[in-house]
Structure 1
């Protein structure tokens, strides 16, 4: 009897810790596809949204890891761009590179490993240190993200129909969106589900016209317009904002690599100042700190 009671107490303590930990997260609450469309709708009011590129990439916190997503949400609301890829036995896991060497303890191509083999590997942080964390499956990421945040699935080697199927199977269209590189890819996802939210590459006026030519509604999209914060972006900002579309700049290739935190903070603030609505970064917590007084 005593053992039984101790077991109940331990279970209740675990549940309390879990709910307390969840309550500490700065979440994005979206319950329906319409909520998701509304969250990303450009209305002209100042709204700064942060996207964690591959989650984040820090000392102790590897990219594309659920533990890293948790770390970010303890500091700031954010959504996450992540990278689904296929193992040898067609399990969808999160890994940016086609090879394992840079971010894991494995060697060679992911496609040469089964999921059972991949589970034995450990992820490395930005300094190459081995962490306790392993490569998650996309299914695990979806299960974790529900009620907490939004996932943006980049286009890697997973067939688009397979991506659409896992979103539908999980009834996850309210918080899982997809990256598309062109109007043809966007049309596929729209025909599959006319509520599908997309992060679309719209870097030029010609690209904008291509999306409109295939009849895609702008309410289903945010627009990625590039990685440079330059005056020429204003044309695209104006065209897309007039259509109710939020514009995203990625700081990962350029501004995340500036030498000092102060330089990076100034660059992050200027990206928003020049007209971007969403800033994607390997350093989402730094971005939040940089713009905190302006949010």
Structure 2
């Protein structure tokens, strides 16, 4: 079997302690789960989520917690870590999903279990029963009491708390992912990552009602996408890791969509000494910053959001 390095990202959109944007097509309703903290946005379906994630809402920037935002004692891709990350402010939770030999979708970044657990071997050659017996290690290699969660468990936890973005591994069948979303009635809190127009087309054929994060490496690639699909109505545009191409960002905003870029790696390391790096991304028009330094980036982003909040209203605690 061909092995790829595709990732599945789960992203949580939680609005903690701040007001959020509203529109006539978005209804603020009590979520079926108690959110942590108690201020959040709950969407009934993909159309409401898509409508909220429009550039003209002007509700301020967001942070995406890379691999869920691990910190010492809280490993990557663990629900217990998600709970910590969403307390920092309005964040996406980015996590990776793979599948076991018996086709259970689980959250794991690497192809193997070696680095992040007390087990070993390829995840797609290991049964879920064996995976469930393992424990996760934190970023320093310290063993924790936390286990590898399933995608179903992540969706169940996220309902009423989080918007989840799925960056699907190439050898995971799209139908399997969509079926899991449907089982949890998760259309209103799921975004699927795709890396090409072909992948987007595949998902559109089976789930046109969902929201997608689409990767664009150039403004020409974005124009080709728009030529075929006419709009970015249900799209967040991923511009890559590093400072974005201004032409891409401008074109994304002209089409009333949000632009997302990553700082994980060297830029995050530099930001430990100079957090204004995150402010530079905001000044360049990036709406969502994907980072390993969730707390630090959130401090910068939350300050910017306070300037945007008066433009948004309508959601009570």
User: Which residue in the other structure is 2:117 paired with?
Assistant: 104
Match of 1:117 among 124, 130, 144: 130
Cα distance change on mapping 1:22 and 1:195 into 2, 3 Å: closer
Q: Distance in 2 between matches of 1:33 and 1:72?
A: 24
- Which structure has more relative contact order (CA 8 Å, sep 6+)? It is 2
Q: Which has the larger radius of gyration?
A: 1
Match of 2:212 among 198, 206, 213: 198
Q: Distance in 1 between matches of 2:97 and 2:229?
A: 28
Other structure's SS at 1:50 match: strand
Match of 1:292 among 295, 302, 307: 302
Cα distance change on mapping 1:20 and 1:237 into 2, 3 Å: closer
Structure 1 segment 120-159 matched on structure 2, within 5 A: 120-156=133-169, 157-159=171-173
User: Which residue in the other structure is 2:253 paired with?
Assistant: 241
Other structure's SS at 2:134 match: coil
User: Which residue in the other structure is 1:261 paired with?
Assistant: 272
Other structure's SS at 2:55 match: coil
Other structure's SS at 2:68 match: coil
Cα distance change on mapping 1:102 and 1:55 into 2, 3 Å: same
Q: Distance in 2 between matches of 1:163 and 1:21?
A: 25
Q: Distance in 1 between matches of 2:159 and 2:33?
A: 17
Q: In the TM superposition, what whole-angstrom CA distance separates every residue of 1:3-33 from its partner, at most 9, and x where no partner exists?
A: xxxxxxxxxxxxxxxx998453553432321
Name the stretch that deviates more: 20-29 or 61-70.
20-29
- Which ranges of structure 2 fall in alignment gaps of 5 or more residues? 1-31, 306-317
Q: In the TM superposition, what whole-angstrom CA distance separates every residue of 1:134-170 from its partner, at most 9, and x where no partner exists?
A: 1000000000000111111112132112112211222
Aligned-pair CA distance for 1:48: 0.5
Aligned-pair CA distance for 1:285: 2.1
Q: Distance in 1 between matches of 2:242 and 2:36?
A: 36
Q: In the TM superposition, what whole-angstrom CA distance separates every residue of 1:229-280 from its partner, at most 9, and x where no partner exists?
A: 15xx11111111000111001111332233x6242x2111111111101111
User: Which residue in the other structure is 2:201 paired with?
Assistant: 187
Q: Distance in 1 between matches of 2:176 and 2:33?
A: 35
Q: Distance in 2 between matches of 1:31 and 1:126?
A: 36
- Which ranges of structure 1 fall in alignment gaps of 5 or more residues? 1-18
User: Which residue in the other structure is 1:278 paired with?
Assistant: 288
Cα distance change on mapping 1:27 and 1:285 into 2, 3 Å: farther
Name the stretch that deviates more: 77-86 or 204-213.
204-213
- More helix, by proportion: 1
List, as ranges, runs of 4+ consecutive aligned residues in structure 1 with deviation greater than 3 Å: 19-23, 25-28
Q: Distance in 2 between matches of 1:236 and 1:118?
A: 41
Other structure's SS at 2:136 match: coil
User: Which residue in the other structure is 1:226 paired with?
Assistant: 240
